[in-house]
Structure 1
Amino acid sequence: MKKIRIFIYYLQELNYRLAYSVIGTLLLFSTTYIYKQSLIFLILPQGLSHFISAGLTEIFFTYMQLCTIISFSFGIILTVLQIYLFLRPGLFFYESKITLNLLIGIILFYTYLYLILFPLLVKFLWELFTTYSNNFTPIHLTFEPRLNDYLEHIQHLNKILSFSFPCLITLNLIQKYTKKILWVKYRGIAYIIVFSIAACLTPPDILSQTIVALPLIFFFELQIIFWALYQEYQKQLLIRQPIKTN
């Protein structure tokens, strides 16, 4: 009977924490919907005079899509924090410390990602691709970007960047619990897996898949180089150790 009471108590606490996450996500959604035009203005490219809209309900669903993405993204972080607070009393000290450091790293990573890196990438990609649209010499081409299409491309970029951190963490875990020589021996298989992951995360075009796959391949090769340099450093360190004499 006591175990049943304890189980009900923990189940109620878990329900309360999940309810806090849902309420926080809904409050964030309502807040972002109030400032929806300001949020869209922040991600619009500088120097553009107008966008076009071709559908009657396009603007409304664009607002809803933007607010849902922002609130859902922060809602996931809020849910993970609530789950951590729920599990923390039952964790060992080192487990709690590792989990807390990982959560802090995730928050710092995505803060840097969306405050610094994401605007720079949006600006760079906009200037890169609009150059081709404005310099189309065979015929006269009028470039009038559509708001919904632009936000869809921003959404794809957000999906690519948001999945980069879990992929890097998974790659580090695989490297930790496998032999490093296997990374070198089966490098080709790793490339195929990376491009398969990129194909699942990106639209069906080779350019998007390459943009996602190349950073993962670069990090993969960087891990191998770091491991090789570390092994050489360990060998040199053993050679230079003084010989102990009695």
Structure 2
Amino acid sequence: MSAELQPGMVPDEPRAHASPADDPAADEPRLLDHLLELRGRLLRAVLGLLAVFVVLLPFGNKLYGWLAQPLLQKLPAGAQIIAVEVASPFFAPVKLAFFTALLATMPWLLYQAWAFVAPGLYSREKRLALPLLVSAVALFYIGCAFAFFLVLPGVFGFLVHIAPEGVAMMTDINAYLDFVLVIFLAFGASFELPVALVIAVVLGWVTPAQLREARGYAIVGIFVIAAIITPPDVVSQLMLAIPMVLLYELGIIAARFVTPRER
């Protein structure tokens, strides 16, 4: 039996129904849609990578012969690359074909990632993210090309000339491939320095003025990093450190255009 109302008391209002936005069950269809979209993007990315890999697989030996030219041109007449392991003449070209397919499909892979996250970004974030994404891909390609056409010939020329007398430089097919891939990744990642500086400024971690003030420390750090990730010779260290110093200055200039302006 309900209690009688006393004088001055207001009857209880009926409880309002929960809105669909406050209902956790309403978020489940949206979460499922996001998961389905993510699965579709991942599937497209993997299928694109596998398609290019299958196309390049028959040309694995030719790709390896082209990749070996910086060393073969510096070796004495009659010297060649050897295969120590039994299966290395098969697996090395396959590994190179996969790495080449990964480089070739990088724009496609990044596009799938961009298409997934772009709907959730604001217009200003899209205007900043898309140029940074394109610049990152272009700088990585430029770093790999710089390593292949300039760094590797200089490094191999230096190593061949300092070899002790009576020692024939005949590297293994797998060892050479691993060495070149590490150089590609090192130079490709190092050339992303301007993009990293711009992102740090956009996030508010540093300002262009602070980057200019820390120029001396940055140059010292760049030479230390170049000495660590390059082969133990002065040529490759300078050929990585000098472009990184220039890219640091380029990053400062680019960061000035994305610095939030005070009203």
| TM score, norm. by length of structure 1 | 0.69
User: Which ranges of structure 2 fall in alignment gaps of 5 or more residues?
Assistant: 1-24, 255-263
Q: Is the 8 A contact 1:160 1:212 kept in 2?
A: no
Q: Is the 8 A contact 2:193 2:248 kept in 1?
A: no
Greater helix percent: which structure?
1
Pick which of 63-72 and 190-199 moved more: 190-199
Distance of aligned partners of 1:209 and 1:74 in 2 relative to their CA distance in 1, 3 Å threshold: same
- Residue 198 of structure 1: how far off its partner (Å): 4.6
Choose from 103, 112, 128 the match for 1:98.
128
- Letter of the aligned partner of 2:245 in structure 1? I
Q: Is the 8 A contact 2:83 2:173 kept in 1?
A: yes
- Residue 210 of structure 1: how far off its partner (Å): 5.8
1:62 equivalent to 2:92? Answer: yes
Residue number in structure 2 paired with 1:19:
43
Distance of aligned partners of 1:51 and 1:118 in 2 relative to their CA distance in 1, 3 Å threshold: same
Residue number in structure 1 paired with 2:22:
none
Choose from 39, 43, 46 the match for 2:63.
39
- Letter of the aligned partner of 1:18 in structure 2? L
- Residue 141 of structure 1: how far off its partner (Å): 3.8
- Residue 82 of structure 1: how far off its partner (Å): 0.5
Q: Is the 8 A contact 1:32 1:67 kept in 2?
A: yes
1:117 equivalent to 2:146? Answer: yes
- Letter of the aligned partner of 1:25 in structure 2? L
State the alpha-carbon separation in 2 of the partners of residues 38 and 118 from structure 1: 20
Residue number in structure 2 paired with 1:146:
172
SS at the partner of 1:6?
Answer: helix
State the alpha-carbon separation in 2 of the partners of residues 206 and 129 from structure 1: 8
- Residue 187 of structure 1: how far off its partner (Å): 4.5
Count matched residues.
220
Q: Is the 8 A contact 2:48 2:105 kept in 1?
A: yes
- Residue 65 of structure 1: how far off its partner (Å): 2.7
Q: Is the 8 A contact 1:53 1:146 kept in 2?
A: yes
Choose from 153, 167, 175 the match for 2:193.
167
Q: Is the 8 A contact 1:22 1:75 kept in 2?
A: no
The percentage of counterpart residues that share the same residue type is: 21
Q: Is the 8 A contact 1:51 1:144 kept in 2?
A: yes
1:217 equivalent to 2:245? Answer: yes
- Letter of the aligned partner of 1:41 in structure 2? G
Pick which of 23-32 and 119-128 moved more: 119-128
Q: Is the 8 A contact 1:21 1:78 kept in 2?
A: yes
Residue number in structure 1 paired with 2:261:
none
Q: Is the 8 A contact 1:53 1:148 kept in 2?
A: yes
Q: Is the 8 A contact 2:81 2:171 kept in 1?
A: yes
- Residue 17 of structure 1: how far off its partner (Å): 0.4
Q: Is the 8 A contact 2:191 2:244 kept in 1?
A: no
